[in-house]
Structures are given as C-alpha cells and as structure tokens.
C-alpha cells in the first residue's frame, strides 16, 4: 500500500495552465499560422530548457520563452514585430486554465497544495493571479532558486523540503510524461494527467495512477 499523501504538488504549464491558449492571439496576428506557431513555440521552449540544463548554461524560463518565440517566428517565416512579440509574451503571463482545473482545485481546498514549475517566479505569480488561484496554493515554487530545470532530482527535492514532508508522502501531478518520469524516479507518488490518452513514453517508469481529467483526482 502506498504511503498516505500529505501534499499534492502540481506542474503548471500543460497541467493547470494551457500553453496553447495563446493560439487565438497568434491566429489573429498571423492568420492560418496560429496553431503551428503555438505548437512550435511550446516545443522549443521545452527543448531549450533541457539543452541549457545539459550545457550548464542556465537562463530563466522567461528568457527561454522569449527566445523560443523568436526562433519559432523566424522558422515559420512570420514577420513578427517587437510589438507583436510583446503581445504574445504578455498573453503567456495570462494563460487560461484547462476547463476542469478550477473546480477540481476547489474540491482539494482542504489539502496542502503547491505548484512546482520550470517557470520563472514572475511568470508563475502572473498566471496564478490572473486566474484568481493565489489562495489555493500554499507554495508556488520555481526552479529559478536552484538554477536547474526539471527533471533534475534536486528540483523535486526542493518541493519536499519546502513542504517539510517525506518524498514518499507527496502526490505529484503533471500532464507531461517526462515530468512524471522525473518525479517517479525521485520517489514521489505520481499522477499522470493524460488528457489526450496517448501512450506513455518508454523511460523505464510508470505513474502511480493515470488520470483523464484533473476532476478524477479525488482524495
């Protein structure tokens, strides 16, 4: 039997907040290219964080997000002005939550809840506040204090340290399987939010539980 969970820790982007909710603005700015731009932007954002971690050349997630957007516009041959760039970046600070997120978090309001994200502090505080979720979370934790990125084990240790609970007592929730793999390898109980019902990556680990919606996370 698993150890009782004393705190739930959530990934932010792709789990609580929809990184593709910028596509409507992207489509307005660049007709017929909104979906492609939002998808490439997100892919490069993740790729750049992993590459910088491997090269030991840390930059915060805000810089990475800007650089990923600049590359994506250039790659898609979109003439993105500085004004358009700022508009898209500003939208990233106000991403929408996925439809079921707010109600699901309210159902967990009596639990200890935290966010653990690669996002920089200003990004996380902005997106949490814009969705009126400030009072829900005991901690909003950024990797920036460590100058590392998930899935480095030290990032997950940081969450356990801040919550002051053993790692076995943490339930970690993410829609990103690479993040689930990192958390499971570290020793968290893991809840993979598999909204798209895709097969798990072959990384030698499996989540404790697989969910189709955050609404399925019932204490």
| C-alpha of 179 from chain center | 9
Say which CATH topology domain 19-92 has: DNA polymerase; domain 1 (1.10.150)
pLDDT in tens, 158-184: 999 999 999 999 999 999 999 999 999
Distance CA 46, CA 49 (A): 5
Residues belonging to the active site: 11
Q: Where are the domains of the chain?
A: 7-17+96-216, 19-92
Give domain 7-17+96-216's CATH superfamily. HAD superfamily/HAD-like (3.40.50.1000)
Q: What is each CA distance from 217 to 101, 126, 171, in whole angstroms?
A: 11, 25, 10
Does the pLDDT value for residue 219 go beyond 80? Answer: no
The per-residue pLDDT for 178 is 97
pLDDT in tens, 132-161: 999 999 999 999 999 999 999 999 999 999
């Amino acid at each position: 039997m698993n150890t009782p969970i004393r705190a739930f820790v959530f990934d932010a982007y792709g789990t609580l907040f929809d990184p593709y909710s910028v596509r409507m603005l992207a489509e307005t700015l660049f007709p017929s290219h909104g979906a492609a731009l939002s998808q490439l932007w997100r892919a490069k954002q993740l790729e750049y964080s992993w590459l910088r971690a491997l090269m030991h050349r840390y930059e915060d997630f805000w810089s990475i997000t800007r650089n990923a957007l600049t590359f994506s516009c250039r790659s898609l041959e979109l003439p993105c002005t500085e004004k358009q760039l700022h508009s898209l970046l500003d939208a990233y600070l106000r991403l929408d939550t996925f439809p079921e997120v707010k109600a699901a978090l309210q159902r967990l309001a009596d639990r200890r809840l935290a966010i653990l994200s690669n996002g920089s502090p200003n990004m996380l505080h902005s997106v949490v506040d814009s969705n009126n979720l400030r009072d829900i979370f005991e901690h909003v934790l950024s990797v920036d204090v460590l100058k590392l990125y998930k899935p480095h084990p030290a990032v997950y240790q940081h969450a356990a340290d801040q919550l002051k609970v053993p790692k076995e007592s943490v339930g970690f929730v993410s829609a990103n399987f690479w993040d689930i793999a990192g958390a499971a390898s570290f020793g968290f109980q893991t809840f993979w939010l598999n909204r798209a019902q895709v097969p798990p990556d072959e990384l030698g680990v499996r989540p404790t539980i697989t969910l189709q919606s955050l609404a399925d996370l019932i204490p």
